[in-house]
Amino acid sequence: MAEATQPAGVPASGTPAPAATANVPDPVAAGLWRASWRAIKSSWAGRLSLLTLVLIVASSLAAPLWANHVADSGPLTNHLTDQIRLNGELTDVVSFEGIPIGPTGQKRFFLGADANGRDIMVRLLYGGRNSLQISLVATTITLLLGTLFGLIAGFFRGWVDSVISRGLDILQSTPIILLGIALGVATALGGINLGIVKIPGDSLFIPALIIGVIQTVYVARPLRGITLSLRERPFVEAARSQGATNMRIIRREILPNLGTSLLVLAPIIFAQTVSYEAALSFLGAGVQPPNPSWGTLISDGLDVLVSAPHLTIIPGAVLAAMVLSLNLLGDVVREAIDPRGMVAAAQKDEH
């Protein structure tokens, strides 16, 4: 703390002013969460989206409960030849002509079955679970990698910055959806084999890793800009004059000041991640069948849209509600802790 209150002192020892002039959000790290929470609580958009998020997350977490205690069927269990009692009559889950049972409103097959006789409600809950797990891991990877690269490039500048920035340029000049598809197709059959770690092709970790990596640019870019201007701030100067090492400056001075940016970026990145996961899985380059996810469920649903529209409408509506809530929350949080839109500015004037 003493470092921060030291007088500014003389300009840095010969270091020229940085080229990038991104403004830095005020370092109020301690109050960030409280300010965000207060903003969410006080706006109806914030409250509504938080409620939606909690509902979706809770129902996905409860998937095994529903599967084991209510529906009595797993997400991958076929009931092709089974019969259930419906209005007192024994009914085929999948009829002789191959038409699956519609919504029963009962414990079993609450939303009906798919062509393989799998319980749609169970698959929807597990699909949400898979989508959320992937998105959570992917968002974490994006934030970690993005912070790492942005911080290193902005702090050390010079050739390190050049290498990282050119790398990001190249990553960014490939359309992200094409990049995701290419990676998904390349890893779907053989998985990833790193010698010590071997991830099979149908693992949920593969789409998480792919989406996590391809979005790095969106975090690294703005954080690089913000770090560039943070490192010229008087408190960094002060720490340096007291003999603090680079590691210590990064840990104690720079990193805490990136909090605002990360908190502003996190919900938006999360929302994008959920969208990409759904899109890639929809196309067959994400979650591999028979595993369910919102994307694969919509893809399966569209095939039977004529006979069973609810199989498309429900997973899509949940997916849209999830992404919309995250975007709205992102808006509320940004307005509360970054009212002058500095993170957005750093995102924009980056070269």
Partner 1 sequence: MIGFIIRRLASMVLVLFAVSVLVFAIFNIIPGGDPAVRMAGKNPTDVQIEAIRKEWGFDKPVTTQYAKMIEKTFDGQLISYSNRENVLERIKEGLPRTLSLTFWSSLFMLVGGIALGMLSALRPNSFADRTINAIAVVGISLPVFWIGGLMSYYLGSKAGIIPAGGYVSISEGGVLDWFWHLLAPSLAISFLFIGIYSRVLRGDLLDALRADYVRTAEAKGLSKRRVVVRHALRNALIPMITLWGLDVAITLGGGAVLTETVFDLDGVGAYLADSTRSLDVPPVMAITLLGAIAVVVMNAIIDILYAYLDPRIRL
What's the min distance (Å) between Cβ of 305 and partner 1? 5
From the list 66-74, 82-90, 132-140, 316-324, the region that binds partner 1 by CB under 8 A is 316-324
Query: Which listed residue (194, 196, 243, 351) binds partner 1 by CB under 8 A?
Result: 194
Q: Choose among 341, 153, 176, 206: nearest CA to 261.
A: 341
Interface of this chain with partner 1, residues 286 to 315, rule: CB under 8 A: 298-299, 302, 305-306, 309, 312-313
Residues in the chain: 351
Distances (CA, A) of 131 to 57, 185, 270, 274, 278: 10, 18, 11, 7, 7
How many degrees, rounded to 5, is the angle at CA 145 between CA 140 and CA 151?
125
Cis check for the bond before 27: say yes or no (omega within 30 of 0).
no
From the list 27-35, 64-72, 112-120, 187-195, the region that binds partner 1 by CB under 8 A is 187-195
Rule CB under 8 A: say whether 145 interacts with partner 1.
no
The residue among 254 and 278 lying less far from partner 1, judged by its C-beta, is 278
Query: Which listed residue (75, 117, 184, 207) binds partner 1 by CB under 8 A?
Result: 184
What sign for the dihedral angle of Cα 41, 277, 132, 62?
Answer: positive
**Binding residue count for partner 1, defined by CB under 8 A:** 53
From the list 120-128, 145-153, 227-235, 323-331, the region that binds partner 1 by CB under 8 A is 323-331
In the chain, what is the greatest distance between 2 CA atoms, to the nearest angstrom?
88
From the list 16-24, 113-121, 144-152, 274-282, the region that binds partner 1 by CB under 8 A is 274-282
What's the min distance (Å) between Cβ of 118 and partner 1? 20
Rule CB under 8 A: say whether 192 interacts with partner 1.
yes
- Contacts with partner 1 by CB under 8 A lie at 166, 169-171, 173-175, 177-179, 181-195, 201, 271, 275, 278-279, 282-285, 298-299, 302, 305-306, 309, 312-313, 316, 319-320, 323-324, 327-328, 331, 341, 344, 348
